[in-house]
Amino acid sequence: MGTGLTSKCACGYEAESSVGSSRRMHGKEFFFPHHCKTCSKVVSVDLLAKPVCCSHCGSQEVTSYAAATKLLDSKETLSHLDPKLLNRLGHHVAAQVVDSAFCYRLEKTFVLTNIANDCPRCHEPTLKFAASVFYD
């Protein structure tokens, strides 16, 4: 099952990307949004492809939007802190997760949060993702 995503920034930048794959391509491809430094776009990158590269321009200069933070239990005292401070401390809460997908071929769960995502246009951490469609 895959998820289509829409990303938007306060500067006006918008893009479409995706997480996962279709049922037909399950285990053969696994897409996740990345920032391509070469074409300055949010793109879907197939993490099972060799080499991992931009789906738009083919560049290998891509940075994943996968959360580098750890999920914090809502019962923990830290979960009541400001989301930006939590992010700097290396944590996020479930309410900030846009999508979470397990790739069995890579044996890893990829989490996309709605905080501190760098915009390819204005280079500020203000890019927000939203699920737009689910596909099979």
Tell me what pLDDT residue 89 has. 85
Tell me what pLDDT residue 132 has. 92
Give the mean model confidence (pLDDT) for residues 89-112: 90
Which range marks the domain in which residue 127 is found?
2-135
Structural domain total, the chain: 1
Whole-structure pTM value: 0.87
Q: What tens digit of pLDDT does each residue of 29-75 get?
A: 999 999 999 999 999 999 999 999 999 999 999 999 999 888 887 77
What Rg do the C-alpha atoms of the chain give, in angstroms?
15
Give the mean model confidence (pLDDT) for residues 11-24: 94
Determine the Cα–Cα distance for residues 66 and 41; give it in Å rounded to an integer: 16
Give the mean model confidence (pLDDT) for residues 12-16: 97
Sign, CA torsion 67/23/16/63: positive
Tell me what pLDDT residue 41 has. 97
φ, ψ at 80 (rounded to 5°): -90, 0
Tell me what pLDDT residue 62 has. 97
